[in-house]
C-alpha cells in the first residue's frame, strides 16, 4: 500500500500547489516581480509520473494487429513478459477496437494493482456495432465496435470510463491522447488543427483534472510525429509522451535533436513505441503500419545487418537497446504475439553489446554521432 499512499500524498500536494498558485502569482504581481507563466509550469515543483521500468510491452498484437492472435497466444505473451520482469503494459481502445484492452485487462485483473503500470489512450470513442468492418486495416478478425474521433472534455472522460470497464481496473496510470497528429490518415485538410484546438480546450485540461482527482497519474500524447509533442508542451502541462515511431535505429534524428532537449528541459519523459519499426528490424517484411516498405529502409537495414553480423550482434536486440538508451526515455515497449517473442524481447535488454558495434555504426553514418549508446 506504500506506493498508493505515496501517490495519493503527491496528488494532494499537487492539488494544493495548483490551488496556491494564483496566490503566488498575485503576490508576485503586487511587488512588481511577476513570474512568467511558462516558468511556473516548468519549475519542477511537481513530479511528473513515469514508469519505473525501462522495458515494457505494447498491446498492438493483443488487438489482432497484422494478424489474428488467439486469447491463449496473447496470454502466453503476457505471461512470458511478466515472468521476465515486465511490469509496464501499454494498450488502447483503438487496438482491435477494444480487443487489446479486454485481453490485457483480463490478464492483469488478478495481479496486485500496485505491481504494474498500465497506459491506454483517448481520442476515439467506441460504440457497439457488430457489423462494423475496416477493410485493409491493421486490425484483423471480428471488431464489434465502431468509433468516432472526440478530443473534447466530455469525450475523453467517456473514453476513460469505457476503458476502465474493459480493463476491469479502478484507475489508469497513464493516458495518451492518441493519433492527434498531421499524419493521421483519417484526417482531412485542416482536421489536425481543428482537433488540436478541441484537445487544447477539452482533453488536455480534463486529463489534468483527472490527474488531480487520482483517476490517472499522468498524461501526454501518443503520436507518430514530433510536431504535436512540441505544440502540446507550449499550451499544457503533460507528464510523458509516447513517441510511436520516431526513435529507432532507422529513424531518430528529429526526436534526438528537436524533441529530447525540450522534454529534458521540461522534466518530461518519453516512451518509445516502435523500436523495431513494427517488426522490420526483427526480420519481418513489414515496415511501421503501412503496406509498403521504402527502398531506402531496406537498404539501411541491410547495412545495419552487415555491421551486426560482423560483431556477432542480434539486430533486434541492438534496436531495442538503442531506443532505450537516452536518459529522457522512460521505457521502450515492443509488442509480441506469443510467449517466445515476448521472452526474447525481454532477455534482449540484458545482453552486452560491444562498444565497437556502436562506434562502427556511427563511423558509417548509420546512426547519429550524438545518439546515446546503451551503457
> How do residues 330-357 score in pLDDT, each as one tens digit?
999 999 999 999 999 999 999 999 999 9
For residue 242, name the pLDDT band (cuts at 50, 70, 90). very high
Structural domains of the chain, count: 2
pTM: 0.88
Q: In which band, very low, low, confident or very high, does the pLDDT at 46 lie, cut at 50, 70 and 90?
A: confident
Q: 97 and 23 share a domain?
A: no
pLDDT of residue 31: 30
What's residue 332's pLDDT?
98
Query: Are 95 and 35 in a shared domain?
Result: no
| Confidence label for 45 from pLDDT (cuts 50, 70 and 90) | low
What pLDDT score does 14 carry? 39
Higher pLDDT, 33 or 107: 107
- For residue 23, is pLDDT > 80? no
Question: Is 371 among the domain residues?
Answer: no
Top pLDDT among 216 and 40 is at 216
Question: Higher pLDDT residue, 289 or 14?
Answer: 289
Residues 64 and 22 grouped into a single domain? no
Q: What is the CATH number of the domain that holds 172?
A: 3.20.20.100
Sign of CA dihedral 60, 66, 69, 71: positive
Checking if the pLDDT of 278 tops 70, the result is yes
Axis crossing angle, helix 153-167 with helix 203-213, rounded to the nearest 10: 50
- For 219-254, letters b (16+ CB in 10 Å) and e give bbbbbbbbbbbeebbeebbbbbbbbbbbbbbbebee
Cβ-Cβ contacts under 8 Å for 279 (sequence gap 6 or more): 66, 286
pLDDT at position 24 over 50: no
Does residue 304 lie in a domain region?
yes
Percent of the chain with pLDDT over 70: 88
Chain-wide mean pLDDT for the chain?
Answer: 89
When comparing pLDDT for 10 and 315, which is higher? 315
Position 53 scores a pLDDT of 96
- Answer yes or no: do 228 and 265 share one domain: yes
**d(C-alpha 297, C-alpha 242), whole Å:** 23
Q: What is the pLDDT of residue 25?
A: 26
Q: Tell me if 62 is assigned to some domain.
A: yes
- Lowest-confidence segment of 265-274, 283-292, 301-310 by average pLDDT: 283-292
pLDDT digits (tens, 9 = 90+) for 356-365: 999 999 999 9
Report percent pLDDT > 90 for the chain: 85
Q: CA nearest 319: which of 344, 338, 337?
A: 344
Residue 10 domain-assigned (yes or no): yes
Same domain? For 106 and 9 the reply is: no
- Angle in degrees, CA 211, 220, 254, rounded to 5: 160
370 belongs to a structural domain: no
The grid cell for 335 is 509488442
Residues 183-203 pLDDT 10s: 999 999 999 999 999 999 999
- Asked if residue 188 belongs to a domain, the reply is yes
Interval 260-270 mean pLDDT = 97
Same domain, 2 and 98: no
How distant, in Å, are the alpha carbons of 207, 237, 323 from that of 273? 21, 21, 9
Within this chain, do residues 33 and 61 fall inside the same structural domain, yes or no?
Answer: no
| 28 lies in the same domain as 74 | no
**How does strand 269-272 pair with strand 329-332?**
parallel
Same domain for 62 and 33, yes or no, is no
Whole-angstrom CA distances from 181 to 144, 199, 224, 225, 231 are: 26, 12, 7, 7, 11
pLDDT at 108: 98
Tens of pLDDT along 51-109? 999 999 999 999 999 999 999 999 999 999 999 999 999 999 999 999 999 999 999 99
Whether pLDDT at 35 is above 90: no
Structural domain for 14, as ranges: 1-45
Whether the CB-CB separation of 264 and 219 falls below 8 Å is answered with no
Instruction: Select from 292, 257, 259 the least CA-distant residue to 278.
Output: 292
Amino acid at each position: 500500500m506504500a506506493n498508493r499512499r505515496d501517490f495519493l500524498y503527491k496528488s494532494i500536494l499537487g492539488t494544493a500547489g495548483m490551488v496556491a498558485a494564483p496566490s503566488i502569482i498575485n503576490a508576485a504581481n503586487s511587488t512588481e516581480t511577476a513570474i512568467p507563466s511558462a516558468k511556473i509550469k516548468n519549475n519542477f515543483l511537481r513530479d511528473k509520473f513515469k514508469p519505473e521500468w525501462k522495458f515494457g510491452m505494447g498491446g498492438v498484437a493483443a488487438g489482432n494487429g497484422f494478424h489474428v492472435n488467439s486469447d491463449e497466444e496473447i496470454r502466453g505473451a503476457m505471461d512470458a513478459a511478466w515472468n521476465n520482469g515486465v511490469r509496464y503494459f501499454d494498450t488502447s481502445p483503438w487496438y482491435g477496437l477494444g480487443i487489446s484492452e479486454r485481453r490485457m485487462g483480463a490478464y492483469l485483473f488478478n495481479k496486485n494493482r500496485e505491481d504494474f503500470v498500465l497506459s491506454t489512450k483517448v481520442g476515439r470513442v467506441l460504440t457497439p456495432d457488430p457489423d462494423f468492418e475496416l477493410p485493409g486495416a491493421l486490425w484483423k478478425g471480428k471488431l464489434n465496435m465502431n468509433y468516432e474521433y472526440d478530443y473534447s472534455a466530455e469525450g475523453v472522460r467517456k473514453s476513460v470510463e469505457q476503458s476502465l470497464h474493459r480493463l476491469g481496473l479502478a484507475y489508469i496510470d497513464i493516458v495518451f491522447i492518441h493519433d492527434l497528429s498531421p499524419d493521421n490518415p483519417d484526417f482531412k485538410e485542416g482536421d489536425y488543427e481543428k482537433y488540436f484546438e478541441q484537445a487544447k480546450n477539452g482533453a488536455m485540461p480534463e486529463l489534468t483534472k483527472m490527474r488531480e482527482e487520482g483517476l490517472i497519474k499522468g498524461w501526454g500524447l501518443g503520436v507518430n510525429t514530433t510536431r504535436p509533442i512540441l505544440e502540446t508542451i507550449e499550451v499544457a502541462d503533460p507528464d510523458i509522451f509516447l513517441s510511436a515511431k520516431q526513435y529507432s535505429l532507422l529513424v531518430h534524428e528529429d526526436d534526438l535533436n528537436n524533441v529530447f532537449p525540450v522534454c529534458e528541459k521540461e522534466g518530461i519523459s518519453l516512451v518509445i513505441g516502435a523500436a523495431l519499426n513494427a517488426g522490420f528490424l526483427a526480420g519481418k517484411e513489414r515496415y511501421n503500419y503501412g503496406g509498403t516498405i521504402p527502398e531506402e529502409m531496406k537498404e539501411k537495414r541491410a547495412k545495419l545487418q552487415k555491421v551486426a553480423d560482423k560483431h556477432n550482434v542480434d539486430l533486434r536486440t541492438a534496436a531495442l537497446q538503442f531506443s532505450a538508451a537516452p536518459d529522457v526515455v522512460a521505457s521502450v515497449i515492443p509488442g509480441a504475439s506469443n510467449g517466445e517473442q515476448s521472452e526474447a524481447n525481454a532477455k534482449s535488454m540484458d545482453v552486452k553489446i560491444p562498444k565497437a558495434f556502436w562506434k562502427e555504426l556511427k563511423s558509417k553514418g548509420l546512426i547519429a554521432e550524438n545518439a546515446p549508446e546503451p551503457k
